[in-house]
Amino acid sequence: MADPNDRFTWDEDDTYWRTNYRNRPYAASAGLDYDFYRPGYRYGYDAAHRYQNRKWDEIESELSRDWNSYEHRGTSAWEQIKGAVRDAWDRVTGRHPVGARR
């Protein structure tokens, strides 16, 4: 679970994703650069801290709805970005081995 005392910052996660995003299926097939996915990673990072102790399935519809009003979303639609949001969520919450903290 996300812990408010977590010593990992957004800047550290940003560096992680900048280095690793190309290996993710949604990015590898789309051929888009990191700046396209960065807002999704930040949104997922923030959401994992905001919705501590909740499961992805409980909040995904809310995140989807709110994506359109997220001020940093750029030009992406939810369907294009949700993989990045989920990856960031999983990395922060420690629920997915691909994004596990090292």
Question: What is the pTM (predicted TM-score) of this model?
Answer: 0.86
pLDDT digit string (tens) for the chain, length 102 residues: 455 445 579 999 999 999 999 999 999 888 899 999 999 999 999 999 999 989 999 999 999 999 999 988 888 999 999 999 999 999 999 876 444 443
What does the alpha-carbon distance between residue 69 and residue 41 come to, in Å, rounded to a whole number?
Answer: 16
Q: Which of 17, 21, 45 is nearest to 31 (CA)?
A: 21
Tokens of 97: 């081995």
Q: Which of 46, 43, 54 is nearest to 81 (CA)?
A: 43
